[in-house]
Amino acid sequence: MKPVIGVTPSFDAEHQRYQLNNDYMQALLRAGALPLILPLTSDQQTLDEAFSHLDGILLTGGADPSPSLYGEETLPVCGETDPLRDETEMYLVQKCALQNIPFLAICRGFEIMIAAAGGTLYQDIETQRPDSVRHPRYEVPAEKVHGVMIEEGTLLYELCGQKEIRVNSRHHQGAKELPPVLMVSARAEDGLVEGIELSGHPFAVGVQWHPETLAKDNPEAQALFDALVRQAETRHLTRSRNED
């Protein structure tokens, strides 16, 4: 049996439907997982039931997390938010952290990971950190537009095998203050944190770029999904033995 990875979708309120970029699913399928889209819900019992069938979690990109998650007022530069998705993903991250469930957090997921751990975000990099390189490059979503320096000794360095890689960039928010429980694993050329790991956790990795878009042709991007699935396989085998 393939390890089951729960994937969080975006929600299109106008048309009342979930949305998910196929790149996420394809990267997980290449890694050997069975990816399943999770519901966005405030019902923790439903999420707990979902967890009983999951071996790992993928938090995807999407709308900005509400600044209320990290104790700030919403500024005019903040983008669209999704309170129900916020509630769902905050619960998922906290449960993964407590139960050592492997998870990979991408872009918005990276930001949720920071908020769940007690950190804060720049609501808009361009206005709040004007000396930064240009991060939101929506016009070239699949192009590598800036470098990130990876910290030696981190899981991300082990997976990528390089001190520097070039990445795409589709975010206008970013990490501002990190709690001690989050370890920095990568920074952009301007020093902005773009990679984090949860200390003491077997696999809890967040990146601010979009490796799913690059993964088909870039081994260092696909490696993130492969590693998530390897960790999920370990959990899957443990769950199977316990059930037997």
* Tens-place pLDDT, residues 82-126: 999 999 999 999 999 999 999 999 999 999 999 999 999 999 999
What domain count does the chain have? 1
Comparing 68-77, 140-149, 150-159, the range with the smallest average pLDDT is 140-149
Q: Under a CB-based contact definition with an 8 Å cutoff, are residues 168 and 218 in contact? A: no
pTM over 0.75: yes
d(CA 66, CA 40): 16
**DSSP H or E segment with residue 132:** none
Which tokens hold the place of 8?
A: 């969080």
What pLDDT band is residue 137 in, cutting at 50, 70 and 90?
confident
Query: What CATH number does residue 68 fall under?
Result: 3.40.50.880
By annotation, the residues acting in catalysis are: 107, 210, 212
Q: Are strands 204-207 and 193-198 parallel, antiparallel or unpaired?
A: antiparallel
161: containing domain: 4-243
pLDDT at 241 over 80: no
Q: 3-class SS at 123?
A: coil
CA distance 85 to 77: 20
What is the pLDDT averaged over residues 186-193? 94
Q: CB burial class (10 A; 0-12, 13-18, 19+) of residue 164?
A: exposed
DSSP state of 154: S
